[in-house]
Amino acid sequence: MEKERRQRSPYFLTFSYVLPLFNHIKEQGYSVTPLLDLLGLCEADLAKPDVRMDHSLLNEMWALAESITGDENIGLHAGMNMQIGHIGMLGHLILTCETAGETYDFVARFNNLVGNGDLVEFEYGDDEVTMRCTICDSTRQHCRHHAEYNLASWATLGRWVSSSDKNPTAIYSPSKPPANDVEQKSFFGCPVYYETGNSIEFVVPKAYSDLPLMAGDPLLRQALEAAARDRLLELQGQQLDSDPLRRKLKQFIVSSLYQGAPTLEAAAAHLDIGARKLQKDLERRGSTYKQLLDSVRQEQAGMLVTDVELLLVDVALMLGFSEQSSFQRAFKRWFDVTPTEYRKAQLND
């Protein structure tokens, strides 16, 4: 029987992302059963790339991995084994890119397909690009092993897709340094700084943005990007009811729509927080207020339009649209059919 999953937080990580760790431990001749037990998973889950693990268990997982193997640089060594398939649909998108710069955009937009526990951002300077990863739960901080696992994974994948041995300019980790960081500096080929703040940072020359990748396919990219957007919206919908902030916002939006679409400022005032903080909190969950408002309207529209006792003009008003034409356009965008066509189809089912 499959082991019961443990749920400690609304933040998850797709298990395939840490699969290189499990493969590495098994290759060393050690059992991964204690790690699976910690995560509430079982052996069969090693073959299920979409299984999710609780993001809050990461530091415990890495501490146990070091205890099992005795490897003081377990995160670094496991990250060296990262492959493009371990990041799922995001990896497939990266393979369609023609330059390294194109991958930055996909990673920033679709990292939540891998997990929603980290906010990944790119900062563009005059000469450098910084990939910054910040843990969303402000009460926690990544341990050194997971920080180095992320950094080594990024370096490994970057070198592979560009068919080059390019090194970053600098590496920054929020964790305490190891007793000896010779191996870290040798692998990254650049200075490595510790205890530098709350984020993991991977800095590369801006010129790397123009590095050609192995194979770009713009046509395939369009199809995969559309599928990735759909999957991301699906994940956000699944997270909605389990995340307290999203749940409160959804309830507020639903109760306010009849008066018109509530603004970000109105929602923030209702929650008694600042508008900027609310937007930042949503961004850390891989969303924006505009996206959340749109998804709530879509969900409500799908239900209200099937009620034949409601005129479509009334449905538009109930969803906060001041003009019927705006509602028609939004509905067509959501469902690829008009409200009238949707209603007829539902009645004929």
Q: According to the model, what pLDDT value does residue 347 have?
A: 74
Do 202 and 275 fall into the same domain?
A: no
Residue-range definition of the domain harbouring residue 183: 12-210
Do 30 and 122 fall into the same domain?
A: yes
- Other C-beta atoms closer than 10 Å to the C-beta of 317 total 18
Residue 285 included in any domain = yes
pLDDT digits (tens, 9 = 90+) for 250-259: 888 888 888 8
Do 51 and 173 fall into the same domain?
A: yes
- Helical axes 218-240 vs 88-95, angle rounded to 10°: 160
The CATH number for 101's domain is 3.90.1520
Do 37 and 181 fall into the same domain?
A: yes
Do 202 and 268 fall into the same domain?
A: no
As a three-state string, the secondary structure of 86-100 is HHHHHHHHHHCCCEH
Residue 2 included in any domain = no
Residue 153 included in any domain = yes
Question: Any idea what the Cα angle at residue 75 is, between residues 69 and 80, rounded to 5°?
Answer: 110
Percent of the chain at pLDDT > 70 equals 93
- Other C-beta atoms closer than 10 Å to the C-beta of 314 total 12
Do 269 and 155 fall into the same domain?
A: no
Do 272 and 166 fall into the same domain?
A: no
Are 191 and 185 within 8 A, CB to CB? yes
Statement: residue 332 has pLDDT above 50:
yes
- Nearest to 202, CA basis, from 166, 178, 172: 172
Statement: residue 37 has pLDDT above 50:
yes
The CATH number for 296's domain is 1.10.10.60
pTM, full prediction: 0.69
Task: For tokens 């194109």, name the residue.
Answer: 102
Do 283 and 153 fall into the same domain?
A: no
Do 189 and 308 fall into the same domain?
A: no
Residue 102 included in any domain = yes
Residue 216 included in any domain = no
Q: According to the model, what pLDDT value does residue 2 have?
A: 37
Q: State the Cα–Cα distance between residues 229 and 30, nearest whole angstrom.
A: 39
For 257, phi then psi, to 5°, come to: -60, -35
Residue 283 included in any domain = yes
User: Which range is least confidently modeled, 55-64, 222-231, 330-339?
Assistant: 222-231
Are 176 and 195 within 8 A, CB to CB? yes
Do 186 and 331 fall into the same domain?
A: no
Do 191 and 47 fall into the same domain?
A: yes
Last residue of a domain, one of 210, 235, 263: 210
Q: According to the model, what pLDDT value does residue 31 have?
A: 97
For 159, phi then psi, to 5°, come to: -70, -35
The contacts of residue 172 (CB under 8 Å, 6+ apart) are 193, 196, 197, 199, 200, 201, 203
pLDDT tier for residue 9 given thresholds of 50, 70 and 90: low
253, amino acid identity: I
pLDDT digits (tens, 9 = 90+) for 71-129: 999 999 999 999 999 999 899 889 899 999 999 988 988 888 898 888 888 999 999 99
The contacts of residue 246 (CB under 8 Å, 6+ apart) are 239, 240, 285, 287, 292
Last residue of a domain, one of 160, 194, 210: 210
Last residue of a domain, one of 193, 210, 227: 210
Q: State the Cα–Cα distance between residues 61 and 56, nearest whole angstrom.
A: 10
Residue 7 included in any domain = no
What DSSP line would sit under 110-138, residue for residue?
A: HGGGTBSSEEEEEEE-SSEEEEEEEES-T
Residue 235 included in any domain = no
- Helical axes 289-304 vs 244-256, angle rounded to 10°: 60
Do 294 and 181 fall into the same domain?
A: no
Q: Say how many domains are in the chain.
A: 2
Are 213 and 162 within 8 A, CB to CB? yes
- Nearest to 120, CA basis, from 95, 98, 87, 92: 87
